[in-house]
Structure 1
Amino acid sequence: MKTIIITTDFSESALNAARYATKLAKSINANQIVLYHAYDNLPVGTDLPMTDVVPSLIEEQSFSNLRTVQAELEQVLGEDSGVGIHLITNNFPLLRGIEGLAEEWHANLVVAGTTGRGNLEQVLIGSNTVNLASSLKLPLLIVPADADYEPIQKVVFACDLRKVSHSTPIAEIGQWLERLGAELLVLNVTLERKRANPDTIMEQYKMHALLDVYQPEYHYTTSDDIAEEIEDFAEDHDAGLIVTIPKSYGFFERLFRRSVSKQLIKKSDIPLLLLREKEE
């Protein structure tokens, strides 16, 4: 792991994500962090000041805010960490800006915070994050607003058992397990009352063939709320990270749709790592 891009809009949840990512960078021996603010995507309310005047002053204020965040992150890193922090701001749309930086800096990971409402599904409400989740070709780590970094000892890989051998990025999952020194828990959740798929057993065999080298635990369950079941499982097993592979925007709609009451009540402090499908 060489370079991590951290996106920020200077909200408290984004600042927390930056702190989390910085601790992660230090623990996995990343070389550099690119702290990025796209001021074209500025939200209505932020926790650091932004001016509402000409673009040059907006850029100047963006750099000032980035330097404030950098100072805090350098305290997190401590002396002689070996991790450099680089500041970038522009008025590009968020996805375009990140893609350009990823190519320029050869980035391995992008980190974004939630909107501050706490639930994993809330991250998918904002159009910017949905765009990143569905279109970004790099791994995307989404950090809940209340997450505090601790060494990750268990990783939950939530999979849907569809075209397993063609879509599962086995090598990348293995790299993350090695970086973190973590155990792997494989979880498949199917909807209750869903008609049995005759291909499921064969896909399970394929999954075992691909992942048995990492000596994981396998768990197969049913629920009427897939997202809730994944979150509950991860919490019950003290997992520090949930990994999944987005197949499409529709996947997110199905996985994270909940009732309003559950959205308000249920919270998760577990970050979500989105990996890309393996290219055939």
Structure 2
Amino acid sequence: MKTILVLTDFSKSALIAAETAVMLAGRLHANLLLFYADSAIPVNPFYPGIFQGEGDDSWKMHCKTEMDKVKDHLMRLISLMKTDSRKPGISRKIAEGDLGAHVTELVKNGNVEMIAMGAPSGSKIDHVLIGSDTSAVIGAADCPVLIVPANGSITALDRVVFATNYHKSDIFAIEYLVELGKLFAYQLEIVHISLYGAKESNHNNEVMDFVKKLSGDIYPRVLFKEIKGKHLFNRLVQFYKERETDLLSMTHQQHTLLSRMLKEGTVMKSLATQKFPMLIFPPGIARN
């Protein structure tokens, strides 16, 4: 049975991510695994409000209590699902140690379809995407990672945008989104953004041909757009808003679209309060 691994820190954004996972699990015929990892330090900034002293196991009881609250809330949501929908089961796990190491083990042994996690509360977009905790999870995963901010809940999937830089790994990501689209019947819009006045880089022709053929002949619900902008991320966010997008997706590649976006210092300032759910495809996912 497929599993959606839901990483929780008992924050609002983590709860929103868990609620989104319930919605996805019904269509994916997957169960949920709620997981909390404690790194055994006095205060862990990724898990706000959780404190443990040396040799003190009281944090475990606190975590179990909080985990029960989350599970009860999700079970109420599941009870409201349509009678003809498969209702996911929920299991829980609490552990000590490195988050990335635990994610690696859980993904390896748990038939994990997707990981869902909340964005750190109040964080800027650069921390959401390449902060230490998010990076640890993405680096450990061989499945898509859904990152949901507190005010970025997904109640339905009608339009998904995938930002491509014509990297070879984009093919796997797009194929995954096409298959997911068959379950949710959403419009998939593949967008490539280039800077005004910038020289065209050497794109992978195999990927370009795949994208254009996919959007042209095979799937009528797949669209492809080439757009230009002064700043990559600003233009992508503008497109996201204009198209009333429910989910933004991309691959997490060094030195490609994402890294170039994050190097634009002026973008960081303008996106300090920008919140939207993102589905990230980790490096090397297509090789697993």
Query: TM-score interval w.r.t. the shorter chain?
Result: 0.7 to 0.9
Contact 1:9-1:37 at 8 Å conserved across structures: yes
Following superposition, the deviation at residue 6 of structure 1 comes to: 0.4
Q: Partner of 1:221: helix, strand, or coil?
A: strand
Q: Does 1:226 align with 2:248?
A: no
Following superposition, the deviation at residue 2 of structure 1 comes to: 2.4
Alignment partners' CA distance in 1, 2:203 and 2:45: 48
Following superposition, the deviation at residue 261 of structure 1 comes to: 3.1
Superimposed CA distance per residue, residues 10-34 of structure 1 (whole angstroms, 9 cap, x where no aligned partner)? 22222222222223323x1433100
Following superposition, the deviation at residue 157 of structure 1 comes to: 1.2
Q: Does 1:92 align with 2:97?
A: yes
Contact 1:154-1:240 at 8 Å conserved across structures: yes
Q: What TM-score results when the alignment is normalised by the length of structure 1?
A: 0.85
Alignment partners' CA distance in 1, 2:205 and 2:110: 42
AA of the residue aligned to 1:31: A
AA of the residue aligned to 2:194: T
Following superposition, the deviation at residue 88 of structure 1 comes to: 0.4
Alignment partners' CA distance in 1, 2:90 and 2:77: 12
Alignment partners' CA distance in 1, 2:107 and 2:212: 33
User: Residue 141 of structure 1 is aligned with which of 143, 146, 157?
Assistant: 146
Contact 2:164-2:257 at 8 Å conserved across structures: no
Contact 2:107-2:141 at 8 Å conserved across structures: no
Superimposed CA distance per residue, residues 89-115 of structure 1 (whole angstroms, 9 cap, x where no aligned partner)? 111211111121223321100011111
User: Residue 269 of structure 2 is aligned with which of 257, 261, 265?
Assistant: 261
AA of the residue aligned to 1:61: H
The 5 A counterparts of 1:30-69 are 30-40=29-39, 43-44=44-45, 50-54=51-55, 56-69=57-70
The 5 A counterparts of 1:190-205 are 190-197=194-201, 199=203, 204-205=208-209
Aligned pairs, number: 275
Alignment partners' CA distance in 1, 2:57 and 2:257: 40
The 5 A counterparts of 1:116-265 are 116-117=121-122, 120-163=125-168, 167-169=170-172, 170-197=174-201, 199=203, 204-212=208-216, 213-215=218-220, 216-248=222-254, 252-257=258-263, 258-259=265-266, 260-264=268-272
Structure 1 pair 21/203, CA: closer, same or farther in 2 (3 Å)?
closer
195-204 vs 5-14, which moves further: 195-204
Structure 1 pair 67/236, CA: closer, same or farther in 2 (3 Å)?
same
Instruction: Report the equivalent of 2:13.
Output: 13
AA of the residue aligned to 2:171: T
202-211 vs 220-229, which moves further: 202-211
Contact 1:118-1:144 at 8 Å conserved across structures: no
Percent sequence identity over aligned pairs: 19
Instruction: Report the equivalent of 1:110.
Output: 115
Structure 1 pair 199/261, CA: closer, same or farther in 2 (3 Å)?
closer
Following superposition, the deviation at residue 86 of structure 1 comes to: 0.6
Structure 1 pair 29/132, CA: closer, same or farther in 2 (3 Å)?
closer
Alignment partners' CA distance in 2, 1:238 and 1:119: 21
Structure 1 pair 234/251, CA: closer, same or farther in 2 (3 Å)?
closer
Alignment partners' CA distance in 1, 2:37 and 2:46: 15
Alignment partners' CA distance in 2, 1:31 and 1:205: 33
Following superposition, the deviation at residue 53 of structure 1 comes to: 4.7
Q: Partner of 1:196: helix, strand, or coil?
A: coil
Alignment partners' CA distance in 1, 2:190 and 2:50: 43
Contact 2:104-2:140 at 8 Å conserved across structures: no
Q: What do you get for the CA RMSD once the two structures are aligned?
A: 2.8
Contact 1:226-1:255 at 8 Å conserved across structures: yes
Alignment partners' CA distance in 2, 1:31 and 1:197: 40
